[in-house]
Structure 1
Amino acid sequence: MMSFFNKLTGRSDKGPPKRVLTSDMHAHFLPGIDDGASSMEESLFLIKKLMDCGYTKLVATPHVMNDFFKNTPEIIYSKLFEVKEAVVAEGWDIEIEAAAEYYLDEWFMGMLQNNNPLLTFGDRYLLFETSFINQPAQLHEAIFLMQSLSYKPVLAHPERYVYFQDNFEKCAELYRNGVLLQININSLSGYYSTPAQLLAEKLIDKKMVHFAGTDCHALKHVKALELSRTKKYYTKLLDSELLNYAL
């Protein structure tokens, strides 16, 4: 029989409690500013679905990309304020913050070179992404600039980049150089591709994953989470030293 102490702490007589992921640091639910939620109604729908998955803190990371999504801190914070007001009106108990997912292009390089204010989450974590096919020529320069400005670069979904799938050493080099790696939970079920799943599993095996994100844009991603969270590598991921737990 479970002891009174164990009931209080959530432990069982069969072993230590399982970790639970309650903070998501990569999602696209701010309405109407990127390829995520298109309306406040859809934004609230996604937030509620993520709450149903056990999340109590969500960090919105809208795309910042010169050719498509020219989001600024002012635009992002304005939408964040609207969403937070709507969440309060619903009476939901969830923490909502915002940062950004910066695409490594000439615009982003210019912002780094000019030391323009960039949106971060947690301990100056700066989320960025690259082309899925080719490694950008300025990748290492961008990382150097981020670190020189006291940002902590977080590479979004490295498992999805073909240039890492074809050459794991390139990914390992970034890890050794202090780049934090964030995998998408849905990669664990092969949602994006089998190569992405295999690379995500390899990163978990080698204890190279710092963050796990939903990268939620729409209902289809929340539905995919249901399957992804049943995979053995999801349990293995939760047992690793994720920085999500400190957010």
Structure 2
Amino acid sequence: MIDLHCHILPEVDDGAKHLTESIEMARAAVRQGISVITATPHHKNGKFDNEWSFVIEKTEKLNETLKQEGIPLTVVPGQEIRLYGELLEDFSAGNCGGLNQSNYILIEFPSNHVPRYAERLIFDMMMAGLNPIIAHPERNSEIAQNPDLLYKLVKQGAAAQLTAASITGTFGSKIKKFSFELLNSNLVHFIASDAHDLKYRSFHMQEAFAEVEEQFGIDAVEYFKENADCVIRNEAIYKEPPERIKKKKFFGIF
């Protein structure tokens, strides 16, 4: 299993506070069945800046430690980039990077709104050959109130990633309900942990996939796992046409 979104790098953001915690998270990830983690420290979110060369360096050091500890987990570099106007310029300059150095870029919006320039910038990213993945849209309050905002971006070509803990109800019943509405409408393409620690924001990947299998069948689980594989290999992911959220639907992919 591949986890595309995780704050496992030590001492870089609000994730692992020190190397020991990174090691504990790595062991927990392996117990969940995860073999590859994309380290995605926050970048340009107003509090943390983790430029690409620094992320690569920290990832290499963590992999060395995991090898010494005998932990069968590979960490690859990435970033969770807060959408900002100069993103394309910074990507060209080597300050930003894709997941596992691919063309897939993990972006996030502020928690309470979608920037007005998001549609244009995402279009420009795709015209530049990049594939934007919107992180945890289910936890964005403006998208929750107006899901058409996400529908338009996915219709335009963006992908989206649900947080495993949202599916399991860790963030509350409303976010869980909305998460399944997004699943029902082909508006998300990945499930990832967004793990920050083991106490408050852990992995929950096995539990989330168990819920997906119960609701939609094993094919749905394989769909999300295969899409994560495609990102790591920098290949095209599987998509079904997005649909506007309705009260009663079945999972369109199947």
2:88 to 112, 115, 118: 112
Aligned counterparts, 1:117-156, within 5 A? 117=94, 118-121=96-99, 123-156=102-135
Matched residue SS, 1:209: coil
Q: 1:194: Cα distance to partner?
A: 2.7
1:58 aligns with 2:9: no
| In 2: Cα distance, 1:153 partner to 1:68 partner | 22
Deviations 1:123-156 (A, max 9, x none): 4110000111122122112202211221100000
Q: Residue 71 and residue 29 in structure 1: after superposition, are their counterparts in 2 closer, same or farther (change >3 A)? A: same
Matched residue SS, 2:99: coil
Contact 1:153–1:180 (CA under 8 A) maintained in structure 2: yes
Unaligned runs of 5+ in 1: 1-21
1:181 to 143, 156, 160: 160
Q: Residue 154 and residue 100 in structure 1: after superposition, are their counterparts in 2 closer, same or farther (change >3 A)? A: same
Moved over 6 A (4+): none
| In 1: Cα distance, 2:214 partner to 2:49 partner | 34
| In 2: Cα distance, 1:65 partner to 1:227 partner | 31
> Which residue identity lines up with residue 208 of structure 1 in the other structure?
L
Matched residue SS, 1:26: strand
> Which range moved further: 47-56 or 236-245?
236-245
Contact 2:193–2:204 (CA under 8 A) maintained in structure 1: no
Matched residue SS, 2:133: strand
Query: 1:244 maps to which residue?
Result: 228
1:26 aligns with 2:5: yes
Contact 1:125–1:152 (CA under 8 A) maintained in structure 2: yes
| In 2: Cα distance, 1:94 partner to 1:157 partner | 24
1:222 aligns with 2:202: yes
Q: Residue 172 and residue 134 in structure 1: after superposition, are their counterparts in 2 closer, same or farther (change >3 A)? A: same
Contact 2:29–2:203 (CA under 8 A) maintained in structure 1: no
| In 1: Cα distance, 2:67 partner to 2:121 partner | 38
1:89 to 68, 77, 100: 68
Deviations 1:70-129 (A, max 9, x none): 111121111111101101101222221011000123xxx223145332211254110000
What TM-score results when the alignment is normalised by the length of structure 1?
A: 0.83
Unaligned runs of 5+ in 2: 233-254
Q: Residue 196 and residue 237 in structure 1: after superposition, are their counterparts in 2 closer, same or farther (change >3 A)? A: farther
